[in-house]
Amino acid sequence: MVVSCPGLCCPDGRPRDPGDFGDFGDSGDFGHLEAARLLERVIAVVTGFCPKVEVVEPGVCAFGARGPARYFGGETALAARIIAAVADLVVESRVGVADGLFAALLAARGASPASAASPGRAADSSSAILVVPPGGTAQFLAAQPVSVLADQDLAGLLKRLGLGKLGEFAALPARDVASRFGDAGEYAHRLARGLDPRSLAARPPPADLSVAQEFDPPESRAEPVVFAAKALAEQLHAGLAARGLTCVCVQVRATWADGRESSRLWRHDGLLSAAGVADRVRWQLDGWRPTPGDGAPSDREADAGQHPEGGIAVLRLSPDLLVRAAGQQLALWGETVVSDRVARAAMRVQAMLGHEAVLRPVIGGGRDFADQVTPIPFGEKTEPRLAADQPWPGRVIGPAPSLVYPAAHEAEVTDDAGEIVTVSGRCMVSAAPARLAMPGEPPRRVTGWAGPWPLSERWWDPAAARRRARFQLATDDGRAWLAVVQDGRWLIEAAYW
Amino acid sequence: MPVGESGPSAVPGAAPGSGTLPVLPALRELLPRGGLARGSVLAVAEFGLLCLALVAGVSADGAWCGIAGIPEAGVLAAVGLGLDAGRTLLVPDPGPAWPQVVASLLDGCELVLLRPPARAPAQVRQRLEATLRRGRGVLLVTGDWPGAQVRLRVVTQRWTGLGDGHGRLRACCAEVVANGRGEAAMTRTRWLWLPAENGGVAVADPRDLPADFPFDVPAGLPFTQASPALRAVSNG
């Protein structure tokens, strides 16, 4: 049996009959993605009647009708039910039934489209069904024009030879067809005689390898959930191992009674034990735990029942990115091997604060001290933002500052007369800096200074261009500062002490 | 510049035991057992290069280190002192649940440098100290920590190399004072180049100090009493 949805087929540019659309949707120019999604839903509907469905081409699926037809009381009755069910998705469909896939496809194409795809008019669907009786396939095919063959070159040749109908082509001896037309001709000849070149490759529906546990009543304490997670993880691993698979990631999804969800992917690589998965569930739940006001690590029992979410209703573990279990091989050379202990600690903190909260510094190049360190979230590929092997003229040489402020601090640098020290366009300083004042701190006397060191970066890019003059200042408290003048303002970028 | 590099031979009887994490050679004399005792808390009065030098010494030995609550930590300066950036975890903002974050980091790292975002109540401190004793790690806190075994403080410091509109920062001479409880009860004072001109940390000789060094150091230290005529140092 072949179910064809004309509105969903042929996204590859074959001419579409505008009439095929019926009142499907509002317009014919829906995107491929939308069509694919709709097709997926249609397939799901058809799968409800028969689990083993083969998608033949976009918009067309086929399945063996014998079993389901007997169950639903005949092929016509089954087809009517399918058309009605698909019409619920506002998709018109046609059904063809024949002994082979090719004939059934032609039958579905030959069935006149259901006049309107509305659920209320499913009774009219009989015109959208064409059933070729058992044994009548050869006769049905004989009346078809040769142009129905997919091989249009062959169809044209046959037409020029005076063979207009498939029946005339089928009447030729198979041996002569093979010697004259080759493999393609033999294949078409088999189709024309109603013999299927292959059987339906209907695969059983994919097994659901995810495991879940419901908590009724919802569980507000973490311990029982983590305990259940351990059993679930064992179940998940057993299911994967039975199929010779392993997963790269495992998704832990906890649903609270009020409908909120916490979903997180954890690296698995087939290395995690059930207890390891349970640990990750615990960290994930810890991360969602409302933080106590005093910031103290509180007992789990102490704040049990304080969950505003009302407890966990469902815990589901889904394997992600399945791969064949082929064992593990570590690289001989490479980056610093992150030991299990460190990875656990880092991931635990990530579970509490988020992925971006745990960083690994990578030393790169750049003219600013802040640019030379690229913080990379733990678990990601460590690569500096700016290459370290470039010369970077204009960078400050000498000892690196022990404090590099993520956001430069505002400051005021004044001379002996109390005027703000300015730097001219020709990089001349108005006067020697005498005092450094930062908001909220008493002013410091400048005991030594050097500069200005001009730095003009990315003048070709108006968005990123910066013109600055840098100074090193030493103050009477024994500290030293890296200050810049940009747009007439003084900023402290880094400090030395 | 005659900078006295403090080699292992210069440290009398301070072979780091298995119960300590190693520090840079110049810092050994400041610490009671020539290293950071595992399971202990050290407090440094203020975040600065001294903290990074302590972390760098441990990291140079191959241990993992964590830096929590210090977004402005100059990783580059620490790398210059020996920090292995590949074995460093940064948690710039540990948030209100910082005790749990630090406890988790201590599970994976030998040393955690922490600036607590808020004042730690006694109960929180005791919990963290118990975690430390179990895990044999070291917690290095900047700021005040009442239970710290060793407290370190930079009393005086002075940068060399900057003139009046010329030069550049080259080295910093600092006086570091360590005291604490138990075996660290004796106050130790050392002059250090922090950093030295070659980028490391070295023991400073009082005679190398700049001539105009402001001697507002507490009286009574042997060094100030015995200070001979100070020799000026040229900083090219």
**Inter-chain residue contact B96 with A295, CB threshold 8 Å:** yes
Tell me which chain B residue has its CA closest to the CA of residue A400: B77
Residue A4 has pLDDT above 50, yes or no: yes
Residue A19 has pLDDT above 50, yes or no: no
Q: What share of chain B in percent tops pLDDT 70?
A: 79
Q: What is the mean pLDDT of chain B?
A: 82
DSSP for A34-80 reads HHHHHHHHHHHHHHTT-S--EEEETTEEE---HHHHHHHTSHHHHHH
Q: What is the largest CA-CA distance in chain A?
A: 113
Report phi then psi at A248, rounded to 5: -80, -40
At which residue do the structure tokens 């749990």 appear? B100
Residue A144 has pLDDT above 70, yes or no: yes
Which residues in chain B have their CB less than 8 angstroms from residue A359's CB?
89-92
Residue B226 has pLDDT above 70, yes or no: no
- Out of B79, B84, B172, the one facing A496 most closely (by C-beta) is B172
Residue A110 has pLDDT above 90, yes or no: no
Average pLDDT over residues B146-159: 92
**Inter-chain residue contact B165 with A450, CB threshold 8 Å:** yes
| Banded model confidence at residue B93, pLDDT cuts 50, 70, 90 | very high
Which residues in chain A have their CB less than 8 angstroms from residue B112's CB?
none
Tell me which chain A residue has its CA closest to the CA of residue B88: A360
Structure tokens at B123: 């109960």
pLDDT: which is higher, A5 or B48: B48
pLDDT tens digit string along A397-448?
A: 889 999 999 999 999 999 999 999 999 988 899 999 999 999 988 999 999 9
Which residues in chain A have their CB less than 8 angstroms from residue B165's CB?
429, 432, 449-451
pLDDT tens digit string along A45-59?
A: 888 888 777 777 777
DSSP for A320-333 reads EEEEE-------SS
pLDDT tens digit string along B64-77?
A: 999 999 999 999 99
In this prediction the pTM is 0.59
Structure tokens at A39: 């097709």
- Out of B99, B165, B172, the one facing A432 most closely (by C-beta) is B165
Tell me which chain B residue has its CA closest to the CA of residue A383: B86
Q: A345 to chain B, minimum CA–CA distance in Å?
A: 5
**Inter-chain residue contact A496 with B49, CB threshold 8 Å:** yes
Average pLDDT over residues A124-136: 78
Average pLDDT over residues B178-205: 89
Question: Which residues of B, range 118-177, sit inside 8 Å of A by Cβ?
Answer: 118, 121, 123-124, 127, 154, 156-159, 161-172, 174
Q: B184 to chain A, minimum CA–CA distance in Å?
A: 25
Q: How far apart are CA A118 and CA A87, in angstroms?
A: 6
- Out of A297, A339, A402, the one facing B49 most closely (by C-beta) is A402
Chosen for mutation from A402, A415, A493 (greatest number of chain B CBs closer than 10 Å) is A402
pLDDT tens digit string along B94-149?
A: 988 899 999 999 989 999 999 999 888 999 999 999 989 888 899 999 998 998 99
Q: How far apart are CA B58 and CA B78, in angstroms?
A: 11
CB pairs under 8 A between A and B: 195
**Inter-chain residue contact A352 with B91, CB threshold 8 Å:** no
Average pLDDT over residues A97-121: 69
Tell me which chain B residue has its CA closest to the CA of residue A473: B162
| Banded model confidence at residue A336, pLDDT cuts 50, 70, 90 | low
Q: Angle A152-160/A174-192 helices, nearest 10 degrees?
A: 120
pLDDT at A124: 54
Residue A350 has pLDDT above 90, yes or no: no
Strand B150-162's sheet: what is its strand order? A373-377, A359-363, B88-91, B65-68, B111-114, B138-142, B41-44, B150-162, B167-180, B188-193, B202-203
| DSSP H helices in A314-374 | 340-353
Q: Which of B125, B86, B73, B129 is nearest to B106 (CA)?
A: B129
Which range has highest mean pLDDT (A1-15, A19-33, A152-166, A298-312)? A152-166
- DSSP letter at B73 equals B
Q: B180 to chain A, minimum CA–CA distance in Å?
A: 23
- Out of A291, A401, A450, the one facing B167 most closely (by C-beta) is A450
Q: How far apart are CA A290 and CA B137, in angstroms?
A: 28
Q: How far apart are CA A347 and CA A276, in angstroms?
A: 12
| Banded model confidence at residue A363, pLDDT cuts 50, 70, 90 | very high
Query: What sign has the CA pseudo-torsion B129, B130, B131, B135?
Result: positive
Q: Are B129 and A386 in contact (CB under 8 A)?
A: no
pLDDT at A11: 41
- Out of A375, A450, A478, the one facing B156 most closely (by C-beta) is A478
Q: Are A61 and A53 in contact (CB under 8 A)?
A: yes
Q: B35 to chain A, minimum CA–CA distance in Å?
A: 22
**Inter-chain residue contact A345 with B100, CB threshold 8 Å:** no
Residue A39 has pLDDT above 50, yes or no: yes
Torsion of CA B207, B212, B215, B216, to 10 degrees: -160
- Out of A286, A343, A361, the one facing B75 most closely (by C-beta) is A361
pLDDT tens digit string along A184-227?
A: 888 888 888 888 766 666 656 667 888 999 988 888 888 888 88
pLDDT at A306: 47
Least confident of A160-174, A277-291, B73-87, B212-226: B212-226
Structure tokens at B64: 């993992």
- Out of B74, B76, B105, the one facing A349 most closely (by C-beta) is B105
pLDDT at A198: 66
Q: Are A317 and A251 in contact (CB under 8 A)?
A: yes
Q: How far apart are CA A289 and CA A154, in angstroms?
A: 70
pLDDT tens digit string along A262-306?
A: 888 887 776 777 888 888 888 888 777 654 443 333 444 344 444
Label residue B97 exposed, middle or buried (CB < 10 Å: 0-12, 13-18, 19+): buried
Amino acid at A54: E
pLDDT at B218: 41
- How are beta strands B35-37 and B111-114 bridged, if at all? unpaired
| Banded model confidence at residue A332, pLDDT cuts 50, 70, 90 | low
- Out of B89, B95, B169, the one facing A398 most closely (by C-beta) is B169
Average pLDDT over residues A130-143: 85
| Banded model confidence at residue B217, pLDDT cuts 50, 70, 90 | very low
Q: B13 to chain A, minimum CA–CA distance in Å?
A: 30
At which residue do the structure tokens 């799901």 appear? A44
pLDDT at A203: 58
Residue B56 has pLDDT above 90, yes or no: yes
pLDDT tens digit string along B12-32?
A: 333 344 689 999 999 999 998
pLDDT: which is higher, A337 or A101: A101
pLDDT at A202: 60
Residue A79 has pLDDT above 70, yes or no: yes
pLDDT at B228: 40
**Inter-chain residue contact A497 with B154, CB threshold 8 Å:** yes
Which residues in chain A have their CB less than 8 angstroms from residue B195's CB?
399
**Inter-chain residue contact A496 with B73, CB threshold 8 Å:** no
Q: How far apart are CA A480 and CA A471, in angstroms?
A: 10
Question: Which residues of B, range 8-37, sit inside 8 Å of A by Cβ?
Answer: none
